[in-house]
Structure 1
């Protein structure tokens, strides 16, 4: 019994924090899911957005007392418009998903919903963090790593891992 409690105390923080992506890992997943150029936005724009919205954390949440909504997941998708958390008053659920689905390590549903959001009239400007930290700035550093690091490079929009040659 004591062993189970100890294991629970060791592993519970890992579950609560979710997956925190590395920049290149996130860029690779986003590229594989068609985000490079989607809605006229570069891969670097999406990685910059995720940095400033959630610090690349899939379990990030942020409560908004004004409209009693919550932002969920790596893209901080809002429960008032885009997902259903069962507690936000007058929620629209435009993406047709549970907000819990935005808190998993598999971000495919978050990507699908983000694609739906940018098809709206505001596009990527719907995200305040993108407007405040990414818009009008050189965001290329979000998808570039040092060749010597051995992690990854983006050359001509191609994911490249030096050790996989």
Structure 2
């Protein structure tokens, strides 16, 4: 348990709250725009409503699992936090890796969610605030 607490403290120390356009540039460079039919605006909207652009965001769920990082990737399905029973760890990462300013592992995992499951519908933030809406404001003014 001490090890997990230490890892969470280290992750929090290197976490970052991104600016919208800064994040849009990073995601664009990582090939997120157009990935499996998604748009860059979809991703920025999703991240806004899931984590408010905060790479250290953590949220508990009713089933005892936890959501981690910018994309709020769930410990039951996508990462191993060492405490969620029967974690599938579909991205083969420790959840603390998703809490730093190195968002490459989070991007790789988010792509896997989209590739292997139901596009962006896996995220309630996207379903509730982004799906079927004009999202152009999420990348407006960004020099991409």
TM-score by length of 1: 0.78
Query: Could you tell me how far apart the structure 2 residues matched to 1:17 and 1:139 are?
Result: 30
CA positional deviation for 1:17: 8.5
Q: Which residue number in structure 2 is paired with residue 54 of structure 1?
A: 51
Asked whether 1:20 is paired with 2:13, we answer no
Compare the two structures and name the one with the higher strand fraction: 1
Give 1:144's match in structure 2, choosing from 122, 128, 140.
140
TM-score by length of 2: 0.89
Query: Could you tell me how far apart the structure 2 residues matched to 1:126 and 1:141 are?
Result: 22
Q: CA RMSD in A?
A: 1.4
* Higher Cα radius of gyration: 1
CA positional deviation for 1:82: 0.3
Q: Which residue number in structure 1 is paired with residue 28 of structure 2?
A: 31
CA positional deviation for 1:123: 1.2
RCO comparison, higher one (Cα < 8 Å, 6+): 2
**Is there any run of 5+ residues in structure 2 with no aligned partner, and where?**
1-8
Q: Which residue number in structure 2 is paired with residue 111 of structure 1?
A: 107
**Is there any run of 5+ residues in structure 1 with no aligned partner, and where?**
1-11, 146-151, 154-158, 160-165
Asked whether 1:129 is paired with 2:133, we answer no
TM-superposition CA deviations, 1:2-50 (whole Å, max 9, x none) = xxxxxxxxxx9xx559301001000000011010000200000000000
Query: Could you tell me how far apart the structure 2 residues matched to 1:40 and 1:141 are?
Result: 19
